[in-house]
Protein backbone atom coordinates (compact mmCIF):
# COMPACT_ATOMS: atom_id res chain seq x y z
CA UNK A 1 0.00 0.00 0.00
CA UNK A 2 1.21 3.49 -0.88
CA UNK A 3 0.01 6.51 1.08
CA UNK A 4 0.79 10.06 -0.04
CA UNK A 5 0.75 12.99 2.37
CA UNK A 6 0.05 16.41 0.89
CA UNK A 7 0.50 19.78 2.66
CA UNK A 8 -2.83 21.21 3.72
CA UNK A 9 -4.16 24.26 5.54
CA UNK A 10 -3.45 22.96 9.05
CA UNK A 11 -1.00 20.14 8.39
CA UNK A 12 -0.64 17.09 6.20
CA UNK A 13 -3.56 15.52 4.38
CA UNK A 14 -3.65 11.80 3.71
CA UNK A 15 -4.29 10.43 0.22
CA UNK A 16 -4.09 6.75 -0.69
CA UNK A 17 -2.52 6.14 -4.06
CA UNK A 18 -4.64 4.16 -6.49
CA UNK A 19 -2.90 2.82 -9.57
CA UNK A 20 0.05 4.89 -10.78
CA UNK A 21 -1.37 8.31 -9.94
CA UNK A 22 1.11 9.63 -7.38
CA UNK A 23 0.39 13.30 -6.46
CA UNK A 24 3.23 15.54 -7.59
CA UNK A 25 2.77 17.85 -4.57
CA UNK A 26 3.20 15.04 -2.03
CA UNK A 27 6.05 15.66 0.43
CA UNK A 28 5.82 12.28 2.18
CA UNK A 29 5.16 8.99 0.43
CA UNK A 30 4.72 6.15 2.90
CA UNK A 31 5.16 2.70 1.35
CA UNK A 32 3.77 -0.12 3.50
CA UNK A 33 4.54 -3.69 2.46
CA UNK A 34 4.52 -2.77 -1.22
CA UNK A 35 4.25 -5.28 -4.03
CA UNK A 36 6.75 -5.56 -6.93
CA UNK A 37 4.25 -3.75 -9.18
CA UNK A 38 3.95 -0.85 -6.75
CA UNK A 39 7.74 -0.72 -6.47
CA UNK A 40 8.05 -0.31 -10.24
CA UNK A 41 5.43 2.47 -10.18
CA UNK A 42 7.40 4.35 -7.53
CA UNK A 43 10.70 3.98 -9.35
CA UNK A 44 9.15 5.26 -12.58
CA UNK A 45 7.34 8.18 -10.95
CA UNK A 46 10.09 9.34 -8.58
CA UNK A 47 13.14 8.25 -10.57
CA UNK A 48 14.54 6.53 -7.50
CA UNK A 49 16.01 3.09 -7.02
CA UNK A 50 13.95 1.40 -4.29
CA UNK A 51 15.97 -1.03 -2.14
CA UNK A 52 14.67 -4.56 -1.77
CA UNK A 53 13.72 -6.09 1.54
CA UNK A 54 16.92 -8.15 1.60
CA UNK A 55 19.01 -5.03 1.01
CA UNK A 56 17.23 -3.26 3.87
CA UNK A 57 18.22 -6.03 6.28
CA UNK A 58 21.95 -5.75 5.60
CA UNK A 59 24.00 -4.56 8.58
CA UNK A 60 26.94 -2.90 6.84
CA UNK A 61 26.95 0.87 7.31
CA UNK A 62 27.78 1.40 3.62
CA UNK A 63 24.65 -0.55 2.67
CA UNK A 64 22.39 1.30 5.11
CA UNK A 65 23.61 4.93 4.72
CA UNK A 66 24.54 6.26 1.30
CA UNK A 67 23.78 8.85 -1.37
CA UNK A 68 22.56 8.00 -4.84
CA UNK A 69 21.03 10.08 -7.60
CA UNK A 70 20.64 13.24 -5.52
CA UNK A 71 18.80 11.41 -2.72
CA UNK A 72 19.96 10.25 0.69
CA UNK A 73 19.20 6.61 1.53
CA UNK A 74 19.05 5.79 5.25
CA UNK A 75 17.94 2.49 6.73
CA UNK A 76 17.17 2.46 10.45
CA UNK A 77 16.16 -0.31 12.84
CA UNK A 78 12.79 0.61 14.32
CA UNK A 79 11.13 -1.17 17.23
CA UNK A 80 7.73 -2.76 16.81
CA UNK A 81 5.48 -4.49 19.37
CA UNK A 82 6.68 -2.01 21.98
CA UNK A 83 3.43 -2.45 23.90
CA UNK A 84 4.27 -6.12 24.51
CA UNK A 85 6.95 -7.80 26.59
CA UNK A 86 8.93 -8.85 23.50
CA UNK A 87 9.67 -5.84 21.25
CA UNK A 88 11.27 -6.61 17.93
CA UNK A 89 13.42 -4.67 15.49
CA UNK A 90 12.45 -4.09 11.89
CA UNK A 91 14.28 -2.19 9.11
CA UNK A 92 12.75 1.02 7.76
CA UNK A 93 14.32 2.90 4.87
CA UNK A 94 14.12 6.70 4.58
CA UNK A 95 14.79 8.12 1.11
CA UNK A 96 15.16 11.87 1.46
CA UNK A 97 15.27 14.04 -1.64
CA UNK A 98 14.70 17.73 -2.21
CA UNK A 99 11.03 17.36 -3.06
CA UNK A 100 9.77 14.52 -0.87
CA UNK A 101 10.48 11.88 1.72
CA UNK A 102 9.86 8.24 0.86
CA UNK A 103 9.59 5.71 3.69
CA UNK A 104 9.74 2.03 2.87
CA UNK A 105 8.62 -0.39 5.59
CA UNK A 106 7.03 -3.80 6.10
CA UNK A 107 5.56 -3.32 9.57
CA UNK A 108 3.85 -0.69 11.73
CA UNK A 109 6.24 0.99 14.19
CA UNK A 110 4.64 2.99 17.00
CA UNK A 111 6.24 6.24 15.83
CA UNK A 112 4.70 6.00 12.35
CA UNK A 113 1.27 5.23 13.73
CA UNK A 114 1.49 8.11 16.21
CA UNK A 115 2.84 10.68 13.77
CA UNK A 116 0.23 9.70 11.17
CA UNK A 117 -2.44 10.51 13.75
CA UNK A 118 -0.80 13.89 14.50
CA UNK A 119 0.08 14.76 10.91
CA UNK A 120 -3.16 16.62 10.31
CA UNK A 121 -2.15 19.23 12.90
CA UNK A 122 1.63 19.16 12.53
CA UNK A 123 3.76 22.00 11.22
CA UNK A 124 5.86 19.68 9.05
CA UNK A 125 5.40 21.28 5.63
CA UNK A 126 8.64 20.04 4.01
CA UNK A 127 10.20 16.64 3.49
CA UNK A 128 13.04 17.43 5.89
CA UNK A 129 10.67 18.43 8.69
CA UNK A 130 8.59 15.27 8.18
CA UNK A 131 11.78 13.21 8.47
CA UNK A 132 12.80 14.98 11.68
CA UNK A 133 9.29 14.72 13.12
CA UNK A 134 9.30 10.96 12.60
CA UNK A 135 12.63 10.63 14.39
CA UNK A 136 11.46 12.91 17.20
CA UNK A 137 8.43 10.68 17.70
CA UNK A 138 10.69 7.62 17.65
CA UNK A 139 13.00 9.04 20.32
CA UNK A 140 9.94 10.05 22.36
CA UNK A 141 8.74 6.44 22.33
CA UNK A 142 12.20 5.17 23.33
CA UNK A 143 12.16 7.60 26.26
CA UNK A 144 8.74 6.28 27.35
CA UNK A 145 9.99 2.69 27.17
CA UNK A 146 13.07 3.61 29.21
CA UNK A 147 10.88 5.23 31.85
CA UNK A 148 8.66 2.15 32.08
CA UNK A 149 11.70 -0.09 32.54
CA UNK A 150 13.02 2.21 35.27
CA UNK A 151 9.70 2.04 37.13
CA UNK A 152 9.64 -1.75 36.85
CA UNK A 153 13.19 -1.99 38.21
CA UNK A 154 12.23 0.28 41.11
CA UNK A 155 9.36 -2.06 42.01
CA UNK A 156 11.68 -5.07 41.79
CA UNK A 157 14.23 -3.34 44.02
CA UNK A 158 11.59 -2.57 46.64
CA UNK A 159 10.48 -6.20 46.63
CA UNK A 160 14.01 -7.56 47.02
CA UNK A 161 15.45 -5.14 49.58
CA UNK A 162 12.75 -4.94 52.20
CA UNK A 163 13.71 -3.93 55.73
CA UNK A 164 12.55 -7.23 57.21
CA UNK A 165 14.06 -9.31 54.46
CA UNK A 166 12.51 -11.10 51.53
CA UNK A 167 9.06 -12.42 52.23
CA UNK A 168 8.40 -16.12 51.91
CA UNK A 169 5.93 -15.63 49.06
CA UNK A 170 8.42 -13.77 46.84
CA UNK A 171 9.17 -15.93 43.80
CA UNK A 172 12.82 -15.24 43.04
CA UNK A 173 12.59 -17.19 39.79
CA UNK A 174 9.86 -14.80 38.65
CA UNK A 175 12.04 -11.86 39.73
CA UNK A 176 14.88 -13.22 37.59
CA UNK A 177 12.49 -13.41 34.64
CA UNK A 178 11.43 -9.79 35.13
CA UNK A 179 15.03 -8.60 35.39
CA UNK A 180 15.94 -10.51 32.23
CA UNK A 181 12.93 -9.01 30.46
CA UNK A 182 14.03 -5.50 31.48
CA UNK A 183 17.57 -6.24 30.33
CA UNK A 184 16.29 -7.37 26.93
CA UNK A 185 14.29 -4.17 26.46
CA UNK A 186 17.19 -1.96 27.59
CA UNK A 187 19.47 -3.69 25.11
CA UNK A 188 17.07 -3.00 22.26
CA UNK A 189 16.62 0.62 23.39
CA UNK A 190 20.38 1.23 23.47
CA UNK A 191 20.81 -0.40 20.07
CA UNK A 192 18.03 1.75 18.62
CA UNK A 193 19.49 4.94 20.15
CA UNK A 194 22.91 4.25 18.68
CA UNK A 195 21.29 3.55 15.31
CA UNK A 196 19.31 6.83 15.37
CA UNK A 197 22.39 8.78 16.44
CA UNK A 198 24.36 7.45 13.47
CA UNK A 199 21.46 8.09 11.09
CA UNK A 200 21.01 11.71 12.21
CA UNK A 201 24.71 12.50 11.96
CA UNK A 202 24.79 11.05 8.45
CA UNK A 203 21.67 12.91 7.34
CA UNK A 204 23.05 16.18 8.70
CA UNK A 205 26.35 15.78 6.89
CA UNK A 206 24.92 14.30 3.68
CA UNK A 207 22.37 17.04 3.10
CA UNK A 208 23.77 20.58 2.86
CA UNK A 209 20.39 22.26 2.29
CA UNK A 210 18.84 21.93 5.72
CA UNK A 211 16.73 24.87 6.79
CA UNK A 212 17.69 26.60 10.08
CA UNK A 213 14.70 25.06 11.84
CA UNK A 214 15.66 21.62 10.59
CA UNK A 215 19.25 21.91 11.80
CA UNK A 216 18.10 23.20 15.18
CA UNK A 217 15.68 20.33 15.64
CA UNK A 218 18.32 17.80 14.59
CA UNK A 219 20.67 19.11 17.26
CA UNK A 220 17.84 18.88 19.79
CA UNK A 221 17.14 15.25 18.89
CA UNK A 222 20.86 14.42 19.10
CA UNK A 223 21.03 15.97 22.57
CA UNK A 224 18.02 13.92 23.63
CA UNK A 225 19.66 10.77 22.29
CA UNK A 226 22.85 11.51 24.24
CA UNK A 227 20.97 11.98 27.52
CA UNK A 228 18.84 8.88 26.93
CA UNK A 229 21.94 6.83 26.13
CA UNK A 230 23.49 7.87 29.45
CA UNK A 231 20.26 6.98 31.26
CA UNK A 232 20.12 3.61 29.47
CA UNK A 233 23.72 2.88 30.52
CA UNK A 234 22.86 3.68 34.15
CA UNK A 235 19.77 1.47 33.93
CA UNK A 236 21.83 -1.37 32.47
CA UNK A 237 24.20 -1.11 35.44
CA UNK A 238 21.23 -1.23 37.81
CA UNK A 239 19.95 -4.34 36.05
CA UNK A 240 23.33 -6.03 36.54
CA UNK A 241 23.28 -5.08 40.23
CA UNK A 242 19.76 -6.44 40.78
CA UNK A 243 20.64 -9.60 38.90
CA UNK A 244 23.65 -10.21 41.14
CA UNK A 245 21.59 -9.42 44.23
CA UNK A 246 18.83 -11.83 43.23
CA UNK A 247 21.30 -14.62 42.50
CA UNK A 248 22.93 -13.92 45.86
CA UNK A 249 19.55 -14.24 47.60
CA UNK A 250 18.89 -17.53 45.82
CA UNK A 251 22.26 -18.87 46.98
CA UNK A 252 21.55 -17.65 50.50
CA UNK A 253 18.19 -19.44 50.51
CA UNK A 254 19.86 -22.63 49.33
CA UNK A 255 22.42 -22.33 52.11
CA UNK A 256 19.65 -21.78 54.67
CA UNK A 257 17.83 -24.86 53.44
CA UNK A 258 21.01 -26.93 53.64
CA UNK A 259 21.56 -25.63 57.17
CA UNK A 260 18.04 -26.67 58.20
CA UNK A 261 18.51 -30.09 56.65
CA UNK A 262 21.77 -30.50 58.54
CA UNK A 263 20.09 -29.55 61.81
CA UNK A 264 17.27 -32.03 61.15
CA UNK A 265 19.78 -34.79 60.42
CA UNK A 266 21.65 -34.03 63.64
CA UNK A 267 18.38 -34.02 65.58
CA UNK A 268 17.55 -37.47 64.22
CA UNK A 269 21.01 -39.02 64.45
CA UNK A 270 22.00 -37.77 67.92
CA UNK A 271 19.36 -39.76 69.87
CA UNK A 272 20.13 -42.79 67.72
CA UNK A 273 23.84 -42.42 68.50
CA UNK A 274 23.27 -42.09 72.27
CA UNK A 275 20.76 -44.93 72.40
CA UNK A 276 23.03 -47.13 70.32
CA UNK A 277 25.94 -46.46 72.66
CA UNK A 278 24.02 -47.20 75.88
CA UNK A 279 21.45 -49.72 74.61
CA UNK A 280 23.38 -52.83 75.56
CA UNK A 281 24.51 -51.45 78.93
CA UNK A 282 21.44 -49.67 80.36
CA UNK A 283 18.37 -51.57 81.54
CA UNK A 284 14.82 -50.28 81.51
CA UNK A 285 13.72 -48.36 84.65
CA UNK A 286 11.37 -51.18 85.69
CA UNK A 287 11.51 -53.63 87.22
CA UNK A 288 15.16 -52.79 87.87
CA UNK A 289 15.93 -51.02 91.15
CA UNK A 290 18.37 -48.46 89.75
CA UNK A 291 16.68 -46.37 87.08
CA UNK A 292 18.99 -43.35 86.98
CA UNK A 293 21.14 -44.70 84.09
CA UNK A 294 18.04 -44.87 81.94
CA UNK A 295 17.06 -41.28 82.70
CA UNK A 296 20.64 -40.21 82.16
CA UNK A 297 20.50 -41.78 78.72
CA UNK A 298 17.28 -39.90 77.96
CA UNK A 299 18.82 -36.65 79.13
CA UNK A 300 21.91 -37.12 76.96
CA UNK A 301 19.77 -38.07 73.96
CA UNK A 302 17.13 -35.36 74.10
CA UNK A 303 18.57 -32.65 76.37
CA UNK A 304 20.86 -31.12 73.69
CA UNK A 305 17.94 -31.12 71.24
CA UNK A 306 15.69 -29.24 73.65
CA UNK A 307 18.46 -26.77 74.47
CA UNK A 308 19.24 -26.22 70.79
CA UNK A 309 15.56 -25.76 69.98
CA UNK A 310 15.17 -23.19 72.73
CA UNK A 311 18.26 -21.28 71.55
CA UNK A 312 16.99 -21.28 67.93
CA UNK A 313 13.55 -20.00 69.05
CA UNK A 314 15.12 -17.12 70.97
CA UNK A 315 17.33 -16.19 67.99
CA UNK A 316 14.31 -16.07 65.70
CA UNK A 317 12.39 -13.84 68.11
CA UNK A 318 15.38 -11.50 68.34
CA UNK A 319 15.56 -11.24 64.54
CA UNK A 320 11.87 -10.40 64.31
CA UNK A 321 12.21 -7.60 66.86
CA UNK A 322 15.17 -6.11 65.00
Reported as a single tens digit per residue, the pLDDT across 243-298 is 888 888 878 778 877 877 887 777 777 777 777 766 666 555 544 556 666 677 77
pLDDT at 225: 92
Tell me what the pLDDT averaged over the chain comes to: 80
Average pLDDT (205-224) is: 79
Reported as a single tens digit per residue, the pLDDT across 155-197 is 888 887 775 554 455 677 888 888 888 888 998 999 899 989 9
Helix axes 127-160, 212-278, angle to 10 degrees: 20
Higher pLDDT, 170 or 117: 117
Q: Which of 97-101, 135-139, 207-211, 268-272 has the highest mean pLDDT?
A: 135-139
Query: Whole-prediction pTM value?
Result: 0.75
Ramachandran region of residue 69, left (φ > 0), alpha (ψ -120 to 50) or beta?
left
**pLDDT greater than 70 at residue 208:** no
pLDDT at 174: 84
**pLDDT greater than 80 at residue 129:** yes
Q: What is the C-alpha separation between 315 and 319, in angstroms, rounded?
A: 6
pLDDT at 227: 92
pLDDT at 114: 86
Q: What is the C-alpha separation between 279 and 272, in angstroms, rounded?
A: 10
pLDDT at 244: 87
- C-alpha 190, offset from chain centre: 10
Distances (CA, A) of 31 to 41, 58, 294: 12, 19, 94
Backbone phi, then psi, for 126, in 5-degree steps? -135, 165
pLDDT at 90: 85
Q: Residue 50: which residues within 8 A CB-CB, separation 6 or more?
A: 31, 39, 42, 43, 95, 102, 104
Q: What is the C-alpha separation between 274 and 82, in angstroms, rounded?
A: 66
Q: What is the C-alpha separation between 48 and 70, in angstroms, rounded?
A: 9
Average pLDDT (84-95) is: 84
DSSP 106: S
pLDDT at 47: 79
Percent of the chain residues topping a pLDDT of 90: 8
305 confidence band (pLDDT: 50, 70, 90): confident
Higher pLDDT, 322 or 199: 199
**pLDDT greater than 70 at residue 133:** yes
pLDDT at 226: 92
pLDDT at 143: 92
- CA 307, 309, 314 angle in degrees (round to 5)? 95
Is the Cβ–Cβ distance between 192 and 142 less than 8 Å? yes
Amino acid sequence: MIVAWIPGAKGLAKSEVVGSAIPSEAIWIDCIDITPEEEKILEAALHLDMPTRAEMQEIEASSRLYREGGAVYMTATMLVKTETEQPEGTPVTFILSRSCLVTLRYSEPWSFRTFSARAGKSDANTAELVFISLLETTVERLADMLELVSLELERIQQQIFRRKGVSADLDLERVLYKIGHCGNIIGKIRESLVDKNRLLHFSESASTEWCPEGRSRIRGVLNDITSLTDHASYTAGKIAFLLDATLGLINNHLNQQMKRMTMIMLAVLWPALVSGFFAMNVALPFPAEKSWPFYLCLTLAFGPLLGGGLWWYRQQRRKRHH
